Amino acid sequence: MAVQWKEVKESFTLPGPYFPNQQPAECGHYYPDVLTLRDERKSDGTFARILDCTYCGQYELLLDPRHLPRELVRKLKRTGRDIAIPEAEVANVRKKRFEKMLSGNKKLTDKTLHSLIETAVRQGAETIELEYVTDGLEVTYMSGSFGISEVIDHRKSIKTIIDELVTQAKLEYKTRGTFKWIYDEREYEVRAEEYESFGESAFRLILKKSKQSA
């Protein structure tokens, strides 16, 4: 049974953190109180991320295009914006995100490796586990012994995530690899490992902040 919004609000009106070691967003509050609305190219040619906070309202962060995925930069140059959440749907999306945090059956679509790592960083997760299940790809964000899972049932998204991971970590001919990831001007080292689980490939990503970013 889905958790009712009233129950969620009563449980989560305090400004977080909502689970152990969760890291705050730039304004000091926590996901899903803080949600990314869109990335956009401004009139002066700079790039910015627009966020919405339950407590602070909307604010923006300047982005360095050198640290963004190439496909995102191309889209921003071509269309001017990449919308994550339409402003009219923020309240409903936030409600669903809170429900997903309380529910063991989480299904999301249109995900990428970038969005998984971004979610992990925002939630303060140290490890991401990727494992195939009957309904799709189960993604578990781990912080110590505590984990929050979601199931991605969108085949195109699953293929995109795995292809990008294999390419970034160079796992075509080996089972372990390391790559760098820039998020919010901080550099992370991502250690990737491929292993077998019930006869299928599974993946573990361990996130470590680089010493110069610590």
CB 149 within 8 A of CB 142: no
pLDDT of 154-181, one tens digit each? Answer: 888 899 999 999 998 999 889 999 988 8
204, with CB counted inside 10 A (0-12, 13-18, 19+), is: middle
pLDDT above 60: residue 6: no
pLDDT (average), residues 129-158: 86
**169: closest CA among 206, 212, 132?**
206
**pLDDT band at residue 211, thresholds of 50, 70 and 90?**
low
pLDDT of 67-92, one tens digit each? Answer: 888 888 899 999 999 999 999 999 88
Q: Which domain holds residue 37?
A: 1-103
Last residue of one domain, picked from the residues 70, 103, 136: 103
Kindly state whether residues 139 and 187 are assigned to the same domain: yes
**Res 88: pLDDT:** 93
Kindly state whether residues 36 and 63 are assigned to the same domain: yes
Q: Is the pTM of this model over 0.75?
A: no
97, with CB counted inside 10 A (0-12, 13-18, 19+), is: middle
Kindly state whether residues 97 and 115 are assigned to the same domain: no
Residue 80: count of CB within 10 angstroms of its CB: 13
**Res 110: pLDDT:** 63
Greater model confidence, 104 or 208: 208
Total of domains in the chain: 2
Out of 3-17, 132-146, 147-161, 194-208, least confident range: 3-17
H-type alpha helices, 103-179: 113-123, 155-169
β-bridge partners, 118: none
Kindly state whether residues 39 and 128 are assigned to the same domain: no
pLDDT of 18-31, one tens digit each? Answer: 765 677 888 888 88
Helix, strand, coil content of the chain in percent (nearest 5): 30, 35, 30
Among 58-67, 90-99, 179-188, which range has the highest average pLDDT?
58-67
**76: closest CA among 61, 88, 65?**
65
CB 182 within 8 A of CB 67: yes
Average pLDDT, the chain: 81
Last residue of one domain, picked from the residues 103, 125, 151: 103
pLDDT above 90: residue 129: yes
β-bridge partners, 141: 128, 148
Q: Give the start-end residues of each E strand in the chain.
A: 34-41, 47-53, 57-63, 81-83, 107-108, 127-133, 136-143, 146-152, 176-183, 186-197, 200-209
